Every structure is written in C-alpha cells, then in structure tokens.
A = this chain, B = another copy of it.
C-alpha cells in the first residue's frame, strides 16, 4: 500500500473519526449510558469549553456516529445517542480497550 491508498483506507478513516481529543470519552460514555445530554458531557469533561465540545459532537454527528435529538420541551432539551453504525464499533472498541489494558503491564 502506498501513501495515496493509505489516505483513503478504512483504518485511517476510522481512527480519524474516533480519535479526536474528547471523542473516545464521548463514545465511552454513550456506550455506557445509551444517551447523554450536552450539559452532562460538559460537566464530566474537565476544562473543556462549550465551543470545543460542540465541535467534537458536530464532527461525530457529521460522521454518522452519533445522532442529535432535539426535544421541544420548555426548556428545550438536546441529547445525543449512538447510530446503528456506531453500535457496530462496540466490540471493536472493547477489544482495543482490552488490548490497551493488557499493554500496560508491558510498559512500566
């Protein structure tokens, strides 16, 4: 595989989609909680600005990983949940998590 092929390969694409600064945490949280509100995410991530968090969520939404749902209550509510495509990532992220935990013992 040369560089041009690599730029378009699925691995690169997947890693670009899931490894933004806060994206793994957002995904981890969503896999546990099924759905999450903006304010809830903003509270658990220390020192993240609302602008940066919004951008991360927007990118995940554009990549069809999460879906944004608006509920027209008063006050209006916005929450996010994983798409069907993202749910397929579950076992892969679990495997990566296990590999990362296992690697810890190799690196002091």
Contacts and interface: CB of A to CB of B under 8 A. Distances in A.
A14 B100 contact: yes
B100 A17 contact: yes
A36 to B, nearest CB: 12
Interface string A1-15: 111001001111111
A25 to B, nearest CB: 5
Nearest to A83: B106
A63 B104 CA distance: 9
Copy number in the complex reads 2
A98 B45 CA distance: 30
User: How extensive is the interface on chain A, given as a class?
Assistant: 35 or more
A82 interface: no
A63 B88 CA distance: 28
Contact of A106 (B10, B64, B98): B64
A63 to B, nearest CB: 6
Interface of A: 1-3, 6, 9-15, 17-19, 24-25, 28-29, 32, 44-46, 62-64, 85, 88-89, 91-93, 95-104, 106-107
